[in-house]
Amino acid sequence: MSTEFIKLVSDLQFERFNMHLAQLAGNRTPVAIFFGFELKPNGAVNNIQALVKTGLNVNCIIVLADRQAEVLRNFVDVPVVALEDISHFGEENFPVKPQEVFFVEVFKDVAFADYFTRYGIEVVAPIYVDDQPKYFSLIMQHLHELYAVHEMFIDDESRNVFRAVIKGRLTGKVSDYRFASEPQYFLDGFTPSAGDIAIDGGAFDGATAESFAKCGAKVFAFEMDANNYQRCLARVGQKPNITLENLGLSDRESEENYLPFGTASQKDPEGNRIGKFIDLDTYVARKNLPRVDYIKLDIEGSELDMLHGATKTIARCKPKMAVSVYHKWEDPWTLAAYIKSLRPDYEFAFRHHKIDGKDYFFDNDQCAILKYFGLSWLVPTPCEFVLYCR
């Protein structure tokens, strides 16, 4: 194995989330907990108590605004500090500056990570806290597969980002990630070109389909969720170079239950909606498409199913692809290996993108708050890893 990958494995033995918690508790390191846009006192107290039970020395709670602090002070017995006042740590009537701050909400609130970094405070935003020991065990079991993917990448940046993703997900530290400067799905050399036939799997509101069409591609956009489909229809339904389908992409033609959840709507046997699905090979044959030049996939954990339903198309056409590999723990090693099995001549790159929160979950007031603190609404979440193929 490469020196860098061996170092990653060594680091994980001591720096993964659960080990790090034990070290912080044993050293009585002062830490804080941050609550931002969505503060519900009862839920906040439960989260605080859960971290305190681990033995952490929680010396303060940090909230977005004074009015939140006033409410929360009635529920907790440690100092509550407004975000704007953290520059006063260590002064009279203020607690000692915490070395680390724990984020409970790892999507919206992690937009404030850079603000804490300015003051030398490490941000810890772990995802799936209860599953961390299981995920570490899974990573250790699949090191050889992960290393095989690591060695498939055509550039050092991809390998650096791949290792950062593995480490960041196991430490929870935002600083361990390595975010791309390129817009998501638009890595140079892996984008659709003029005249291409492009598949947009998981179109959501039609923004990506619109972007691909601006490249000159003829886009076939697939959106399973009925509500999202209507949003797409309003945005791109009349554009001649975009064909919009209220269908999900899968490994076969079927009707299945799904859970409607905005950008995260997904197939689920317990779901309360029924969606229609089709495999890409059947769709290509039915529409008499001469080829497929590009595929983008962000379909909430159904990526491998979709690839199983596109084997003929991929083997015949070798389309460029941008495939989300963060919905399932095993995605980083299973998806690349399967694509490589279909066409051994594929080249791969890997990037981790920030989420544009303005497009997904921030309203105008929240954007204004971020601007006030000198922050962007491009959010450094533990998601949005993209495997690029060509």
Instruction: Report if residue 207 sits inside a domain.
Output: yes
Instruction: Quickly state the pLDDT bin for 389 (edges 50, 70, 90).
Output: very high
Q: For residue 378, is it within any domain?
A: yes
> Coil, helix or strand for 226?
helix
Please state whether beta strands 266-267 and 254-259 pair in parallel, antiparallel, or not at all (unpaired): antiparallel
| Between residues 306 and 238, the one the model is more confident about | 306
Please check the confidence at residue 341 and state whether its pLDDT lies above 80: yes
Facing residues of 128 across strands?
none
pLDDT reported for residue 171: 96
Structural domain for 332, as ranges: 197-389
* pLDDT higher than threshold 90 for residue 39: no
HEC sequence for 285-350:
HHCCCCCCCEEEECCCCCHHHHHHCCHHHHHHHCCEEEEECCCCCCHHHHHHHHHHHHCCCCCEEE
CB 192 within 8 A of CB 212: yes
| 86 shares a domain with 208 | no
Question: 74-115, pLDDT tens digit by residue?
Answer: 889 899 999 999 999 999 989 999 999 999 888 899 999 999
Dist CA 147 CA 143 (whole Å): 6
Residue 149 domain-assigned (yes or no): no
Q: 214 and 351: one domain?
A: yes
Locate the DSSP E strands across the chain.
Answer: 30-35, 57-63, 80-82, 100-103, 122-124, 197-201, 218-222, 242-245, 248-250, 254-259, 266-267, 273-279, 294-297, 320-324, 348-352, 355-356, 378-379, 385-389
Q: How many domains does the chain have?
A: 2
pLDDT in tens, 305-328: 999 999 999 999 999 999 999 999
Report if residue 176 sits inside a domain.
no
What is the domain-level CATH number for residue 332?
Answer: 3.40.50.150
At residue 295, the pLDDT reads: 98
250 within domain boundaries: yes
**Would you state the torsion angle of the CA atoms of residues 339, 353, 196, 247, taken in this order, to the nearest 10 degrees?**
70
The better pLDDT of the pair 268, 367 is held by: 367
Q: What is the pLDDT of residue 63?
A: 95
377 and 253, same structural domain?
A: yes
Q: Is 4 contained in some domain?
A: no
215 and 66 within one domain: no
In terms of pTM, does the model score above 0.85? Answer: yes
26 token code pair: 């044993």
Question: pLDDT band for position 71 (50/70/90)?
Answer: confident
Question: Same domain for 120 and 235?
Answer: no
C-alpha torsion sign, points 194, 196, 202, 203: positive
SS3 helix, strand, coil % of the chain, rounded to 5?
A: 45, 20, 35
Among 100, 130, 160, residue at a domain's last position: 130
Q: How high is the pLDDT of residue 44?
A: 86
Tell me the HSE value of 44 on the side-chain side, using a 13 A CA sphere. 23
- What is the mean pLDDT of the segment spanning 35-62? 89
